Amino acid sequence: MKLRGVIDWAVSHFKAVLAVLLGASVVMFVATICIFNFGDPSPTKTLLDLNIAPLSSKITLDGNDIGQGTSEVVPGTHHLAFSAEGFNSKEYDIEVKANQTNSVSDYLMNNENGLEYYLFSITDMEVLKTVKSEDVKEFIDNYNHAYTLFPKLPIEYTFYTDSGLGKVIIKDGRSSRRCKKYLCLEVASITDTLTEAKSGVMEALHNSGYSITDYEVVYDF
């Protein structure tokens, strides 16, 4: 009787263990089928590379702080927002795709100097150059062209006025404390009026292939 009881006990426990193993196998099988058909239920992270000018920008992704450069994020739609003191702010949705580095390059407009601000900061200017937009490209192209005037300075230009012969000497004014813009010209003139001096500078720049609108001009007379 004792032997029979031991055998019955062993059989019942064996069945219980077998049931557990069979149940675990079924769960694993179902999980494998789900992953095969629907993908891994745990989201895979991917890379998001942010380059926002200025570098001091506060950046959030879905309301959470995120830094410049490359970060790991979950693929899908995310809300990106960035702001900086003295600049406008931006926010919009971005689509982050899996298995690749997703890059976002953008900039904020300075409330006082616009894009001109970036000419005063080498590091921020380098970030701005990564932005692929027509307005930024036009700004940088205009700056690169306007800057080529400075190695040619000083320029002396003689012209005729209503009161006779006039003359302006155009110099590099970027070190002048009177200048607020980065591209600044200082002008000495022997003309009788400021109007005549401005006319002479405009004519001199135009004849050299430049536009006076690209510069701040201060007059030394």
What does the pLDDT average to over 2-16? Answer: 51
Question: 90 and 59: one domain?
Answer: yes
Q: How many domains does the chain have?
A: 3
Question: 19 and 83: one domain?
Answer: no
**Domain boundaries, position 193:** 150-219
CATH of the domain at 52: 2.60.40.1120
pLDDT in tens, 29-44: 444 444 444 444 556 8
Question: 167 and 201: one domain?
Answer: yes
Question: 61 and 115: one domain?
Answer: yes
HSE-up (13 A, CA, CB side) for residue 154 = 12
Phi, then psi, of 122 in degrees rounded to 5: -65, -45
Question: 133 and 58: one domain?
Answer: yes
Question: 32 and 95: one domain?
Answer: no
**Cβ count near 86 (within 10 Å):** 12
Question: 51 and 127: one domain?
Answer: yes
Question: 157 and 138: one domain?
Answer: no
Contact 82, 58 (CB under 8 A): yes
Of 120, 146, 172, at which residue does a domain stop?
146
pTM: 0.71
Inform me whether the pLDDT recorded for 210 exceeds 90: yes
Question: 2 and 88: one domain?
Answer: no
Partnered with residue 50 across adjacent β-strands are 69, 104
pLDDT in tens, 155-196: 999 999 888 899 999 999 999 888 988 999 999 998 888 999
Question: 91 and 37: one domain?
Answer: no
